[in-house]
A and B are shown apart, each in its own frame.
Chain A
Amino acid sequence: MLEVPATLFLLLSGVLFVVGAIGVITRRNGIVVFMCIELMLNAANLAFVSSTRLTQGLEGMVFVFFVMAVAAAEAAVGLAIFVMIFRLKGTINVDEINLLKG
Chain B
Amino acid sequence: MDGYIWLIPSFPAVGFILNGLLGKRLPRHFVSFVGCLSVLASFIVSLAFLLELLKLPPEARILEGDVFEWIVSGEFSTAVGFRIDPLSIVMCLVVSGVGFLIHVYSVGYMHDDPGYPRYFTYLNLFVFMMLTLVTANNVLLMFVGWEGVGLCSYLLIGFWYEKDSASNAGKKAFIVNRIGDYGFLLGIFLLFVTLGLRGVWTLNFAEIERHRELLTAQAPLITLLFFIGATGKSAQIPLYVWLPDAMEGPTPVSALIHAATMVTAGVYMIARLHFLYDMAPQTMYVVALIGVLTAIFAASIGFAQYDIKRVLAYSTISQLGYMFTGVGVGAYAAGVFHLMTHAFFKALLFLGAGSVMHALAGELDMRKMGGLRRYLPTTYWTFFVACLAIAGIPGFSGFLSKDEILWRAFSSPHGGLFIYCVGLVTAGMTAFYMFRLLFNTFHGGERLDPHVRHHIHESPKVMTVPLVVLAVLSVVGGYVGVPHVLGGEARFERFLEPVFGSAETEARSTSLELSLMALSVVVALLGIYIAYRYYVAKPELARSFVERHERLFATVHNKYYVDELYGFLFVRRLLQLGAFLKRFIDEALIDGIVNGIGYFLRGIGGLIRFLQSGYVQAYAFSIVVGAIVVIGYLLIRVIP
Contacts and interface: CB of A to CB of B under 8 A. Distances in A.
A96 to B, nearest CB: 10
Contacts of A21: 624
A102 B612 contact: yes
Contact of A25 (B609, B613, B617): B617
Contact of A102 (B609, B617, B624): B609
A34 B614 CA distance: 17
Contact of B617 (A24, A99, A100, A101): A24
Given A21-B624, A24-B620, A99 B615 contact: no
Contact of B614 (A24, A25, A33, A101): A101
A contact face: mostly helix, strand, loop, or mixed: loop
A98 B614 CA distance: 4
Interface SS, B side: helix
Nearest to A24: B620
A95 interface: yes
A100 B621 contact: no
Interface in A46-102: 94-95, 97-102
A33 B609 CA distance: 25
Interface of B: 609, 612-617, 620-621, 624
Contacts of A97: 614, 616
Contacts of B613: 98, 101
A100 B624 contact: no
B546 to A, nearest CB: 83
B132 to A, nearest CB: 66
Q: Pick the 8 closest A-B CB pairs, nearest first.
A: A101-B614, A98-B614, A100-B614, A25-B621, A24-B620, A25-B617, A94-B616, A98-B615
Given A21-B624, A25-B621, A25-B624, A99 B614 contact: yes
Contacts of B612: 100-102
Report the contact-size class of chain A (Cβ under 8 Å from the partner).
10 to 19
Contacts of B609: 102
B620 A95 contact: no
Given A25-B621, A33-B616, A94-B615, 7 more contacts: A24-B617, A33-B617, A97-B614, A98-B613, A98-B615, A100-B612, A102-B612
A25 B616 CA distance: 9
B614 to A, nearest CB: 3
Nearest to A99: B614
B314 to A, nearest CB: 75
B602 to A, nearest CB: 15
Contacts of A102: 609, 612, 614
28 contacts: A21-B624, A24-B617, A24-B620, A25-B617, A25-B620, A25-B621, A26-B617, A33-B616, A33-B617, A94-B615, A94-B616, A94-B617, A95-B615, A97-B614, A97-B616, A98-B613, A98-B614, A98-B615, A99-B614, A100-B612, A100-B614, A101-B612, A101-B613, A101-B614, A101-B615, A102-B609, A102-B612, A102-B614
Nearest to A101: B614
A101 to B, nearest CB: 3
Nearest to A26: B617
Nearest to B618: A25
A95 B614 CA distance: 9
Contacts of B624: 21, 25
A100 B613 CA distance: 7
Contacts of B614: 97-102
Contacts of A24: 617, 620
A22 to B, nearest CB: 9
A47 to B, nearest CB: 14
A76 B388 CA distance: 114
A63 B612 CA distance: 35
Contacts of A98: 613-615
